Amino acid sequence: MNYQNIPTTYTAQTREQLQERIAQRKRELGSQLVILGHHYQSDDVIAFADFVGDSLKLSQQAASLKDVRYIVFCGVHFMAESANILSPAATVLLPHPAAGCAMADLADDTDVATAIDDLAADTAARVVPITYVNSTAAVKAATARAGGACCTSSNVRNVFAWALAPTGQGGAAADKILAIPDQNLGINTAVAMGFTPDDCVVYDPRLAHGGLTADQIRTARFILWKGHCYVHQRFTPEHIHAARQQRPSVRVMVHPECPRETVALADAAGSTEQIIRAVAESPDVRDWAIGTESNLVNRLAARHRDKRIRTLGDAPALCVQMARIDLPRLLWTLDTLATGQPNNTVRVPENIAADARLALERMIAIT
Ligand code: CIZ
Ligand code: SF4
């Protein structure tokens, strides 16, 4: 089967035809099937999701459902991997095989394992890797093997605190945290915890010793993998100044994947779930500029029509990888299930899954 090219019979259908046929397939598959929709998916796709959430919440929801045979993950590849790791008995499908995460792709598992070994050789200090869930299962596995844990943008502070706490308090007694793969999430969290940007250095995996001197490694508390998300990197302090100039009462909330200077200037920073909650729990704030993916921001605007809710900046912020999943792809995936020949399945090899599961379970236990 050609995994890349969808049969033209799908792309030639109208939106209404696709919607009708997807609804029909969902009825036929009944409780065997659960469709998960990440916040960054389009409204068209979200309309068919049984659960909508961030990546961890979705994987946990899937894991809590017994007897589900098929999980169709409308999100990106690392999310489907996590669903497979946490629900090994189900068949997990990603409707587009090229729906990856540009940030996750910036941390190769061999590079991460090399960095962990090199840092151990470069310093007598204890370096504990903390890996954002936006990473491959192989990187999560390498994290667990080095005594580290995963984190999400919702729980990263608690996980960092666990890493730094002494073993007597149930922590990992880290002298330093190696934060993988998002340097922005790393520095923004360190600063939110009371550390300073001077406590952080950036580790470039393409350079020997990450491009760092022995002195830089010795003094740093946070060693930040040189990775970022191109969708969030685009939100700048200038966008915030412009929003405030145009609308003095605007509340600016941004995702911690945004650059440090942007987060420093914003009124608040938080994960997708925290952004949704902040809007819902602030009835008096009528005007929001939000620095995250526009599908989520536009859905928030539609849910709170009495408020003015816009994406921060002057253009929509779209994740191209998330957008690869659309109605033709979703229908095609459901059709392959109905004919017993599922395509685009995501299965993490058990030797990797076991360690990656440990990194996820450590995170869940901490939080
Ligand atoms: O973990 C997730 O779902 C992502 C990518 C972002 C967030 O803030 O929820
Ligand atoms: Fe990855 Fe950024 Fe897209 Fe999220 S928005 S899936 S971090 S590329």
Domains and CATH numbers, the chain: 8-100+321-348 (3.40.50.10800), 112-147+155-227 (no CATH), 235-311 (3.40.50.10800)
* Dist. CA 88 → ligand 1 center (Å): 22
Q: Would you say the CB of residue 41 lies under 6 angstroms from ligand 2?
A: no
Q: Would you say the CB of residue 231 lies under 6 angstroms from ligand 2?
A: yes
Q: Under 8 Å CB-to-CB from 283, ≥6 apart: which residues? A: none
Helices (H), the chain: 8-11, 15-29, 43-46, 55-64, 77-86, 109-122, 137-145, 156-164, 183-192, 214-219, 230-233, 237-246, 260-265, 272-280, 294-303, 320-323, 327-338, 350-366
Q: Give the pLDDT score at 13.
A: 95
Say if residue 30's pLDDT is above 50.
yes
**Mean of the pLDDT values across residues 140-167?**
97
Band the pLDDT of 62: cuts 50, 70, 90.
confident
Instruction: Report the percentage of the chain scoring pLDDT > 90.
Output: 93
Closest ligand relative to 269 C-alpha: 1
> For residue 124, which of 237, 251, 217 has the smallest C-alpha distance?
217
Residues 194-244: tens digit of each pLDDT: 999 999 999 999 999 999 999 999 999 999 999 999 999 999 999 999 999
Return mean pLDDT, the chain. Answer: 96
Q: Give the pLDDT score at 2.
A: 40
Q: Give the pLDDT score at 20.
A: 98
Q: Give the pLDDT score at 198.
A: 98
Report whether 270 contacts 256 (CB < 8 A).
Answer: yes
Q: What is the dihedral of CA 353, 357, 360, 363, to 10 degrees?
A: -150
> For residue 101, which of 359, 293, 311 has the smallest C-alpha distance?
293
Residues 4-18: tens digit of each pLDDT: 588 999 999 999 999
Band the pLDDT of 59: cuts 50, 70, 90.
confident
Q: Would you say the CB of residue 54 lies under 6 angstroms from ligand 1?
A: yes
Q: Which of 55, 56, 103, 257 to mutate to test the pocket of ligand 2 (most atoms within 8 A of CB)?
A: 103
Q: Under 8 Å CB-to-CB from 198, ≥6 apart: which residues? A: none
**Mean of the pLDDT values across residues 257-262?**
98
Write the residue with the smallest CA distance to atom 3 of ligand 2: 319
Q: Residue 105 has which token pair?
A: 């792709």
Q: Residue 226 has which token pair?
A: 């040189």
Report whether 254 contacts 269 (CB < 8 A).
Answer: yes
Report whether 210 contacts 161 (CB < 8 A).
Answer: no
Q: Give the pLDDT score at 367.
A: 84
Distance, CA of 255 to CA of 206 (rounded, Å)? 27
Q: Give the pLDDT score at 1.
A: 39
Report whether 311 contacts 290 (CB < 8 A).
Answer: yes
* Dist. CA 32 → ligand 1 center (Å): 26
DSSP 203: E
Write the residue with the smallest CA distance to atom 7 of ligand 2: 229
Q: Which of 255, 293, 294, 311 to mutate to test the pocket of ligand 2 (most atoms within 8 A of CB)?
A: 293
Q: Give the pLDDT score at 84.
A: 96
- The secondary element (H helix, E strand) that includes residue 53 is strand 51-53
Q: Give the pLDDT score at 343.
A: 87
Q: Give the pLDDT score at 4.
A: 59
Q: Give the pLDDT score at 263.
A: 98
Q: Would you say the CB of residue 116 lies under 6 angstroms from ligand 2?
A: no
